[in-house]
Every structure is written in C-alpha cells, then in structure tokens.
C-alpha cells in the first residue's frame, strides 16, 4: 500500500529508511522470537485431556439446517459485531474524517463486552453442535465468533458509500486495503477468543464425566 502512496508522491508516504528499519525489526526480532517460542512450546508436556479419544471416528448423523456450519457461522458473528457497532462508527470517523476520539474508557468497556460476547456465542453454538453428536467443533468455534469480521468489512463498505467522498483510485485502494487488514486482525482476535472459550468449556463438561 505504501508503494501506491509513493507513486502519487504524497507526503503521507512512509520513508524508505523507516520501511527498511521495520523490515530489520521484523526479521531481526520478531522472526527469531517466533522460532524461540516454538522451541520452548514443543519442549513442554502436552496439555492433559479429561477423557481418551477413540481412534475410530464416530459416524455423525444428519444435521438439521440450523446446525450447518454456514448458518451457525453467519449467525454467530452478528452479536459480537452488534456489541461494537456504535463504537466502530466513532473509531472510523476518527480515522477517515479526522475527528477527535476521546472515549478510551468506554472503548475498554466495549472491548470487554466484545470478549465476553464472543466467548458466550461460541460456547453456546458449540454446545448445540455437541448435542447434535457432531464432535468437529475446533474450527467451527473459531469461525463462529471470527465471522464477525465479515460484518465489520461489510460495514466498512457501507461507511465508504454513505459517509466518504473518495474518488481517486489510490485512495480507494488504501481505504479497502487498510479496512481489509483491520478486518483480518479482528477475525483472528475474535476467533481466538471463541476457540479458547470453547476449548475450556469442552474440557470442563467432559472433565465432569465419571468413567469407571
């Protein structure tokens, strides 16, 4: 994206020296830390599970339409998006319309509500899935809460068409490029919260099973 700004000879472009410093920081600090963390992670003992898993996969019965992955993922993203809808408007107005943003305390509260909402919706839909005898909950718990990023990006499209007056091609590419990156980060954040919450929920309910 910065290359397009350079092409327009804009003063908002990041200098080449700064870009080079960021690349050095990435390969000199971030990448070694990733390998170091993976090294210590693989040396640790695996996380204990409350029950043994069968080596032969169990046959999954036919699922009703409201338990299908596409439907549950689309429905699961509505509530997390609804919890940040109002605050997202003020944040985008601050970024793209140069308005002042000073509600940082309220932003922290909205973040807490978002985390709780992602955990609750993911646990609820995981429970419905398990009661339907479908044990493939791992990725679906991630996608259930992570699908709220789709609504964030769709709202960015709506905001572009209703609030902004951008006509230059490079400016349009910058807008959708940055909003796409923001939606990707939001997808990873909310998906991780939902998967972690569902994992702990499954551990608790199966840990309460008494096996003789």
* Residue from 148, 19, 153 nearest 74 by CA: 148
**DSSP per-residue codes, 59-89:** PPPPPPGGGSHHHHHHHHTHHHHHHHHHHHH
d(CA 190, CA 148): 8
pTM metric for this prediction: 0.86
At residue 12, the pLDDT reads 67
* Residue from 112, 114, 109, 119 nearest 82 by CA: 114
d(CA 130, CA 135): 6
At residue 134, the pLDDT reads 87
Q: Terminal CA-to-CA distance of the chain, rounded, Å?
A: 61
d(CA 193, CA 114): 10
At residue 210, the pLDDT reads 62
170's CB contacts (< 8 A; 6+ apart) are 4, 5, 7, 8
At residue 49, the pLDDT reads 78
At residue 184, the pLDDT reads 96
pLDDT values of the chain reduced to their tens digit, one per residue, 212 residues? 676 776 666 666 777 788 889 889 989 999 999 999 999 989 888 878 777 777 788 888 888 888 888 899 899 999 999 999 989 999 999 988 888 888 888 899 999 999 999 999 999 999 999 998 888 899 999 999 999 999 999 999 999 999 898 888 888 988 999 999 999 999 999 999 999 999 999 999 888 876 54
């Amino acid at each position: 994206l910065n290359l397009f700004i350079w092409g327009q000879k804009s003063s908002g472009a990041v200098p080449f020296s700064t870009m080079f410093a960021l690349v050095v920081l990435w390969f000199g600090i971030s990448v070694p830390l990733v390998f170091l963390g993976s090294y210590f992670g693989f040396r640790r003992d695996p996380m204990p599970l409350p029950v043994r898993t069968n080596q032969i996969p169990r046959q999954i019965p036919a699922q009703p339409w409201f338990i299908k992955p596409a439907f549950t993922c689309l429905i699961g993203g509505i509530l997390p998006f609804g919890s940040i809808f109002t605050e997202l408007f003020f944040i985008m107005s601050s970024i793209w319309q140069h308005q002042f943003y000073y509600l940082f305390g309220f932003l922290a509260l909205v973040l807490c509500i978002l985390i709780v909402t992602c955990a609750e919706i993911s646990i609820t839909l995981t429970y419905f899935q398990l009661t339907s005898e479908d044990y493939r909950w791992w990725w679906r718990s991630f996608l259930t809460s992570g699908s709220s990023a789709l609504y964030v990006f769709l709202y960015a499209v709506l905001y572009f068409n209703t609030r902004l007056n951008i006509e230059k091609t490079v400016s349009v590419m910058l807008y959708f490029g940055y909003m796409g990156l923001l939606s990707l980060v939001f997808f990873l954040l909310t998906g991780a919260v939902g998967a972690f919450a569902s994992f702990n929920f499954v551990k608790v309910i199966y840990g309460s099973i008494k096996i003789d």
